[in-house]
Structure 1
Amino acid sequence: MGTPKEVAFAIVEGVPDVRLRAMMGEWLVYFREEYLGTIEDGRLFLKDTPRSRPHLSGVPLVSPHAGAKPAFMPDVQSAEQLFELFTKIVGRKL
């Protein structure tokens, strides 16, 4: 189905140090040059990793698309919350 550029950029709008990269109609999400997840069908998915699990323990794991590994689908309401979450997962500040 694909996520329009405007939708993908709106999801991460206001979050510093984020870069999106188009990939087969969807978007890869990088924070401080580290790959964290994807935006697919207008929804943010974060990789299930040992570093992300402690910060996303109450967040459901769902498959972004058929055949994909399950990923966390956080319900983040603001750029500030998303920035804090990304910073915790990456584990370092610039």
Structure 2
Amino acid sequence: MSSSVEYLDYVLELLADVPEVSYRKMMGEYLLYASGKIFGGIYDDRFLVKETTASRAVLAVSEMPYEGAAEMLLVDVEDKAVVADLVTKMLPELPESRKRRR
């Protein structure tokens, strides 16, 4: 099942206070970036983020985005300030994105 554009819009609204948020559609799902770093995605209308020390301090439910993938944490918080703080604290813990070859 693919994620809906309506759910993407909802998540982007939650992330409105996070600087430099962008997304990339990939196989019916959406990868989420902030300041050029991938921090999570939308999979089957579920907002999931990578597991880091900062994300584990706020979120508890682990889910697999798709079969064979590493588990990620389900964002079950609807407070924009909490989500912005979470993502902002995650960014220093995440690796730089690799440059894509064309």
TM-score range, shorter chain: 0.7 to 0.9
Amino acid at match of 1:55: S
Hey, what does 1:10 align to over in structure 2? 10
Q: Which has the higher contact order (CA 8 A, sep 6+)?
A: 2
How far does residue 54 in structure 1 lie from its aligned partner after superposition? 3.9
> 1:46 corresponds to which letter in structure 2?
V
Extract unaligned runs of 5+ from structure 1: none
Give the share of equivalent positions with the same residue, in percent: 27
| Cα separation, partners in 2 of 1:3 and 1:55, compared to 1, 3 Å | closer
Query: Post-superposition shift, 1:45?
Result: 1.0
Higher helix share: 2
2:38 to 32, 35, 38: 35
Following TM superposition, by how much is the alpha carbon of 1:31 offset from its aligned partner in structure 2, in angstroms? Answer: 1.0
TM-score, reference length from structure 1: 0.81
CA distance in structure 2 between the partners assigned to 1:54 and 1:80 by the alignment: 15
Q: Report the AA paired with residue 19 of structure 1.
A: S
CA RMSD of aligned residues (A): 1.9
* CA positional deviation for 1:64: 1.4
Question: What SS class does the counterpart of residue 72 from structure 1 fall into?
Answer: strand
Q: Which runs of 4+ in 1 moved over 3 A?
A: none
Q: Deviations over 1:44-93 (max 9, x none)?
A: 11112xxx23432451221112222111112121222111100001139x
